[in-house]
Structure 1
């Protein structure tokens, strides 16, 4: 891993973003093995993903935001609250504007501005929208290192990337499996499933570059990513995991996911 530590933070963010995309690719590739995976399995994996995202939002984003704000002489809670709310608001605006369709919903329930996009594109757009804050979170974590923040470290940023990568695996399957059930070929289902996470390395680089040149906004940027991720969890991931009546198993998955991300962040960060 010494080669990784020797790289610039933007390149580190790019590699971390590519890793999170690769985990989505692996998850989408499961469609080659499971033509029609168990709904209980999917719901448990979605619950796990929700738990990881909730834990990452606090341990890897909000807590460092408060710590950094205090070190920079700010009122500690201001950047955390303002950034968190702003992240949720921006995601809500994007949710209202970008045409998309949540998995399991009929095309009549498509959200965003009216469009003639096919159901496949709308499904992929929904997951793509929700992958943006994950890429941004990874980028901001690495950007904090380049900005010279004492409490920011490569190990903590790697822990965040690993956690998001782990929860991207079930997300990849959650995209490709419904497309397969819709009658799409295995290859096309895999392609669109992995494409949904291509925004993550892009926004990882953007996040890292921005905070390096605008250090005072870093506590706000961390909280912004947290607010955006929590919005995704409440708006999409948890409701989808409960859609088929498997609330108990999805809840268990969320508890395990939270514990795994907490362990990664505390042990590595």
Structure 2
């Protein structure tokens, strides 16, 4: 991805990165054409790897630049990253509180199971995953928008790693929408359509996030930390708990993902 992005402006980089994360959502939804299920151990390993990448990216790509950029704002250095980080987590908490059907287990037990067509639970899942993807798209955009500040801690490698981590997490999200729909009797094509549709907001949100930090540079530390808080919430609330079918594999995946992201950011940044 990096050779494709080099030489482009931050807005174009954010757009292409958002399309990449959307594409992995569509790829996950596309598994409905191959099977009605997925190997649980492979999914746990993939989720663990995505969690490790996202944890590492939250620090090296988001929090570290936020801390360094806060030094010239005339406020305590810890204030912007702490405030932004907590705000990001609270916003994600609010989204899940308003849309409790985000988790697949909740949909399986939703009222109306067995009704023809799209159940209310499935519609809520599609809506929840779509809204949930907005902060993730913003995080990708903020990562690339930070490059416009030309700060040493904001690197293309770090922004790409952030997009890769979110994209890996989007793959099972696409499956989480399309597979239940297929089990309800919805056609493969429609199941895929609704699955990929949940990620279509990410390219738009990525451009908005990049534009916001470019236009309003003083908010950059807050925005970077906000994205980190949202990412860590997603990892702690969803990715790791959903990978507990095979905890040992998930843990190994976390370690591998964290190491890969650390090497990518440190060596290439």
Pick the TM interval, shorter chain. 0.7 to 0.9
Tell whether 2:260 aligns with 1:267: no
Q: Counterpart of 1:102? A: 103
Tell whether 2:161 aligns with 1:159: yes
Q: Counterpart of 1:249? A: 249
Distance 2:50 2:38 in 1: 17
Q: Counterpart of 2:8? A: 7
Go from structure 1 to structure 2 and tell me whether the alpha carbon gap of 1:20 and 1:190 turns closer, same or farther (over 3 Å shift): same
Deviation at 1:198, TM superposition (A): 1.2
Q: Counterpart of 2:219? A: 217
Q: Structure 1: any 5+ residue segments left out of the alignment?
A: 110-115
| 1:62-141 pair list within 5 angstroms | 62-70=63-71, 72=73, 74-98=75-99, 100-105=101-106, 106-108=108-110, 118-141=120-143
- Per-residue CA deviation, residues 52-103 of structure 1 (Å, 9 max, x unaligned), is 2222211211111112222555533211111000111112222222463411
Q: Structure 2: any 5+ residue segments left out of the alignment?
A: 112-117
Tell me which moved more, 37-46 or 69-78: 69-78
Q: Counterpart of 2:44? A: 43
Deviation at 1:134, TM superposition (A): 1.9
Residues 140 and 159 of structure 2 are in contact (CA less than 8 Å); yes or no, is this contact kept in structure 1?
yes
Distance 1:166 1:130 in 2: 15
> For 1:35, what is the secondary structure of its paired residue?
coil
What RMSD in Å do the two structures reach over aligned CA positions? 2.5
Go from structure 1 to structure 2 and tell me whether the alpha carbon gap of 1:75 and 1:202 turns closer, same or farther (over 3 Å shift): same
Deviation at 1:212, TM superposition (A): 1.0
User: What TM-score does the superposition give when structure 2 sets the normalisation length?
Assistant: 0.85
| 1:147-186 pair list within 5 angstroms | 147-186=149-188
Q: Counterpart of 1:234? A: 236
Go from structure 1 to structure 2 and tell me whether the alpha carbon gap of 1:23 and 1:267 turns closer, same or farther (over 3 Å shift): farther
Distance 2:174 2:49 in 1: 13
Distance 2:235 2:168 in 1: 15
Distance 1:151 1:223 in 2: 13
Go from structure 1 to structure 2 and tell me whether the alpha carbon gap of 1:182 and 1:51 turns closer, same or farther (over 3 Å shift): farther
